[in-house]
Amino acid sequence: MVHIGQLIEQELRRQRRSVSWFAKELYCDRTNVYKLFRKESIDTLLLYRISCVLSHDFFKYYTDDFVSGNKS
């Protein structure tokens, strides 16, 4: 099962971006970003915005999970 919040946090760290920067780009508070990291699933529009901000396709994790047979 995909834990999208953890994947977003990992990508943010991989890019060496700060939580403050990310919050500013998403027009939200830092505390909301930390809450986002704990979420196992999020709204698709928000995931699209996050994908654009980080220039990373987070939808692929769901596709890969589906294709590999983990349809939970």
Query: For position 43, what pLDDT does the model report?
Result: 96
Answer yes or no: is 72 within a domain: no
Report CA dihedral (31, 33, 23, 52) to the nearest 10 degrees: -170
Number of domains in the chain: 1
What string of pLDDT tens digits covers the 72 residues of the chain?
A: 889 999 999 999 999 999 999 999 999 999 999 999 999 999 999 999 999 999 999 999 998 888 887 655
Domain range for residue 19? 4-67
**Residue 38 belongs to a domain with what CATH number?**
1.10.260.40
Q: Are 18 and 25 in contact (CB under 8 A)?
A: no
Pairwise CA distance, residues 1 & 70, whole Å: 7
Pairwise CA distance, residues 1 & 62, whole Å: 9
